[in-house]
Structure 1
Amino acid sequence: MTDSQALEGVRVLDLTRVLAGPFCGQILGDLGADVTKIERPGVGDDGRMYGFSSLLDSDGNKTRESAFYLTANRNKKSVTCNLSRPEGQELIRRLAADSDVLIENYKVGNLKRYGLDYESLKQVNPKLIYCSITGYGQTGPMATRPGYDGLFQATGGMMAVTGIPEGQPGAGPLKAGPSLVDVFTGHNAALAILGALNQRHTSGEGQYIDVALLDCSVAMTSHIMQDYLVSGVAPPRLGNGGNGGGPADLINCADGIIYITAGTDEHWRVLCDLMERPDLFDDPRFNSNPKRGTNRNELVAIINQWSMGWKAADLLEALDSIGLPAARYNELPEVFDDVQVQHRELKVTVPHPVAGEVTMLASPLAYMSGSPMKYVAPPTIGQHTDEILAERLNMSSQEIAQLRETGII
């Protein structure tokens, strides 16, 4: 094992803000790329003002380091630059000249006004991989519209298959809690960039990548959308029910909630034995997966009546002993009490320049045997401006001071 990371030596210029784009940049940074984040002077990434919570400084004062911003900006360096000014545009061109990747999520056509679009920067750096992340893509009748996660959960079909089933109290579509389209889009953009980097090894050329939240929102509906494409019939909302074999649902115990997935006939048989209800296995209402799906409400009610006689921990142990997949339902504070979550070290605490330290979610890419994970806290606004301009652009302290005085950085 070495100390090198998978993308060590790759330079990324990150002109994104909020979530999908920054998440893409963070993935590349987690893999070892040198990511330079460009932020507006005095304002920074819009995501710094999103969410409910922010870090406190050593005096207990609220800072601009919001929890929302912290989730997608580790392993980056921050440079402030005013892109609306010619001097700022020239700084970006110079940084792009020795970058491998540029990521941006400006509205379609915005960067072209500044000469910072792909065709312009391609003249400066033919090997540049340029990734644009927008709501609706670079072409089409809606391309110029702004877009955010919730819009695409509604438009792309995800909301149509999420929520309480028809006929039940509160029936209707629901938005997923996390901004899943943003996160999924960030992952897809990172994958496309990795593919382009690999192709560049043989072609010697960069390329342009157009990634849209709309496209990703339709794709992430996945097997449910494919079911519709095959059958022509839209599958119903299942609430907490599983999409495959069953019964699969939240089950109430005397002191908590668990989730079970009896995904095969054998799982269903051993569950019937544990319930001391072998008759249910051959019951014509439940003797096949399709029937258990059709009659799921009736079946889950039977299981709940039985499970209420168990404590959650005892039932989980019993289910584990018969090989039936099950898990405890956790509120957020309970997630990190889970012994497997603790074993996998799914949160990390690192030094932070304002708060002293910050605890963050760990990267799911941490277990690459030849690429050790390194964590650096998300930067404060412009934390690395002087460093980057001096080291990469060979600018003097006087030149940097002049740029700061005139509002360029």
Structure 2
Amino acid sequence: MVDNSEQTKKENGDAGPLAGLRVIDMTHVMAGPFATMTLSDLGADVIKIESPDGDLVRDNAPHLQPDEAYGGYFNSVNRNKRSVVLNLKTEEGKEVFKLLVEDADILIENFTVGTMDGLGLSYERLSEINPELIYASIRGFGDPRVTDTPYADQPAFDLIAQAMGGIMSITGTEETGPLKAGPGIGDIFPAVLTLVGILSALHHRERTGEGQYVDTAMVDGVLSLTERIVHQYSVGGDTPGPQGNSHPLLFPYDRFPTTDGYIVITAITNGQWRSLCEYMDRPDLAEQYPEKADRLENKDTLRPIISSWTEQFSKRELFEMLGDDVPCGPVYTVEDIVDDPHFKANNMLPEVEHADTGEEVMIAGSPINFSKTPSSVSRRAPFLGEHTEEVLAEMGFDENDITELQDSGAIDIRNDD
């Protein structure tokens, strides 16, 4: 593979653990972009290939002002990347793409089954061009290359993955029925699993010199996240349903009211339970319910007792009071997160420039830290085609070549600042 470390350092800072890797990002919306965003945070040179129309979510809200180049959604999961516009419906665009593949380490796409094949850019064709290429896909139900699922041709989004992967069946309460989890975990967790697959394939390539195909089904990813429902069914004979914030096997492991919101308390060991009872000035409860099974069996009796105590304090007071001895945490809003020193100390709220405004906006940072090769959120998401000319010049195209490609409709370049 070509060593792209100098370019990566220039774009992403000095220098993440994946510096030197080049990633072709053929993804859109959330699942794929989250995976490639993480690779870019870790130092890889991620080249986002877009059609002349751009990623489907470039114009998604929220916006700082009308008619700006992109919204907050796109900026959040496409930072640190470079945008190249290629029209893969043209032969010239396909040829440029194949040249990019020759020097790439990883390609990720999340199109519907057969899209890349229909363009003549299948995994099989691209692996002939570059046998060391690691080609990863994220689809709703998997790719026919590696799965026999009857649903391979069906599209999926986060909500479908959450529904069919089982997590909705245990989220909510008996009164509400099944609810989706707030964030798009049907996209994001499969994206994380895809990264595990890619890094595993890189290790395999290091030993053997061969690339391979990596596929993650969104629905399967959510099921793996919701694993406990399977063993509860197979071992315990139960079909779990939604039960709010409580846990089917532990107590206290629940949400409790405070003067300004809620706190969660997870005093699951006997020692943690005794500590909680001491803070509550209720040593009798520790004596009466000394074991896990006792507390679980009597949770309906214990919950209002604990609640009547917690609701005398603010969530911050309880966190500071209990935190060293009893596992707990305030239920934060985003305003609480912004004010908490932990997230500032861990650089989880970096600010980057936003779209045409030049205004600094806060986004969620990278949670992965290293002692020697730091991850980095250093650059806003790219404008559509912002780096087309730059990347082609790195590939050896001269000014006349680039002009000819633009005139043919194979590429597009953003000409303004």
* TM, length-normalised to structure 2: 0.89
Aligned twin of 2:244: 239
126, 132, 138: which is aligned to 1:133?
Answer: 138
Deviations 1:171-192 (A, max 9, x none): 3111011101211111111111
Which one-letter code corresponds to 2:41 in the other structure? Answer: D
Deviations 1:245-287 (A, max 9, x none): 321212112333211111111111222222222222233xx44
Q: Return the alpha-carbon distance in structure 2 between the equivalents of residues 83 and 291 of structure 1.
A: 64
Aligned twin of 1:149: 158
State the Cα distance separating 1:70 from its structure 2 match.
1.8
- The unaligned stretches of length 5 or more in structure 2 are 1-12, 412-417
Aligned twin of 2:189: 184
Q: Return the alpha-carbon distance in structure 2 between the equivalents of residues 173 and 353 of structure 1.
A: 38
Q: Return the alpha-carbon distance in structure 2 between the equivalents of residues 290 and 64 of structure 1.
A: 57
2:324 is the counterpart of 1:326:
no
Q: Secondary structure at the match of 1:120?
A: helix
Is contact 2:40-2:80 (8 Å) kept?
Answer: yes
291, 307, 314: which is aligned to 1:304?
Answer: 307
State the Cα distance separating 1:243 from its structure 2 match.
5.7
Q: Return the alpha-carbon distance in structure 1 between the equivalents of residues 318 and 222 of structure 2.
A: 37
Deviations 1:29-55 (A, max 9, x none): 1111111000111x21112133x302x
Within a 5 Å distance, the mapping from 1:2-401 to structure 2 comes to: 3-41=14-52, 43-50=53-60, 52-54=61-63, 56=64, 60-139=65-144, 140-164=149-173, 166=174, 170-242=175-247, 245-283=250-288, 286-320=289-323, 323-352=325-354, 354-356=356-358, 357-365=360-368, 367-374=369-376, 375-392=378-395, 394-401=396-403
Q: Secondary structure at the match of 1:64?
A: coil
Is contact 2:106-2:134 (8 Å) kept?
Answer: yes
Percent identity reads: 39
- With over 3 angstroms needed to count, the CA separation of the structure-2 counterparts of 1:70 and 1:291, relative to structure 1, is farther
Which one-letter code corresponds to 1:4 in the other structure? Answer: A
Q: Return the alpha-carbon distance in structure 1 between the equivalents of residues 222 and 107 of structure 2.
A: 23
| 369-378 or 102-111, which deviates more | 369-378
- With over 3 angstroms needed to count, the CA separation of the structure-2 counterparts of 1:33 and 1:311, relative to structure 1, is closer
TM-align CA RMSD: 2.0
Is contact 2:40-2:46 (8 Å) kept?
Answer: yes
Deviations 1:48-69 (A, max 9, x none): 133x302x3xxx4442322221
Is contact 2:71-2:355 (8 Å) kept?
Answer: no
State the Cα distance separating 1:86 from its structure 2 match.
2.0
| 312-321 or 111-120, which deviates more | 312-321
Is contact 1:185-1:211 (8 Å) kept?
Answer: yes
Is contact 1:245-1:264 (8 Å) kept?
Answer: no
- With over 3 angstroms needed to count, the CA separation of the structure-2 counterparts of 1:106 and 1:314, relative to structure 1, is closer
* TM, length-normalised to structure 1: 0.91
- The unaligned stretches of length 5 or more in structure 1 are none
Is contact 2:69-2:356 (8 Å) kept?
Answer: no
Q: Return the alpha-carbon distance in structure 2 between the equivalents of residues 295 and 153 of structure 1.
A: 32
